[in-house]
């Protein structure tokens, strides 16, 4: 996933449970590698993002570069022990150079200034 783009994960859930009339949802995203390039697994501690919606939306640049574990939980409200869980992993990377913001100097790639002159 590119850091400059939002992340949207949609779910399609069918629940048929007579024990409860309402369903609960939960997303937790954990950072699992402090190294943004090479995956070196670390035990996730606190989630960096939590949501109680069935679909997950993460705005652009919300997550730092690196590896993340996404955990989605569905449970029946008021019924203990009735739940399901799905896990996915994402790698947040920099945007490709050709698509990213680039600076340039008006009039060409170089400009000469006299020594001691202020440039603004």
Strand partners, 84: 74
DSSP class of residue 103?
A: -
36-81 confidence digits (pLDDT tens): 777 777 777 788 889 888 888 999 888 888 888 999 999 888 888 8
Percent of the chain with pLDDT over 70: 81
Distance CA 26, CA 34 (A): 24
């Amino acid at each position: 996933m590119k850091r400059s783009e939002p992340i949207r994960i949609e779910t399609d859930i069918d629940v048929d449970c007579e024990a409860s009339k309402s369903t609960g949802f939960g997303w937790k995203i954990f950072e699992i590698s402090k190294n943004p390039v090479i995956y070196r697994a670390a035990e996730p501690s606190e989630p960096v993002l939590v949501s109680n919606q069935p679909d997950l939306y993460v705005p652009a640049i919300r997550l730092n570069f690196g590896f993340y574990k996404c955990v989605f939980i569905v449970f029946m409200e008021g019924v203990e022990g009735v739940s399901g869980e799905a896990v996915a992993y994402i790698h947040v990377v920099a945007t490709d150079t050709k698509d990213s913001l680039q600076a340039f100097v008006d009039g060409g790639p170089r400009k000469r200034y006299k020594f001691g002159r202020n440039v603004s």
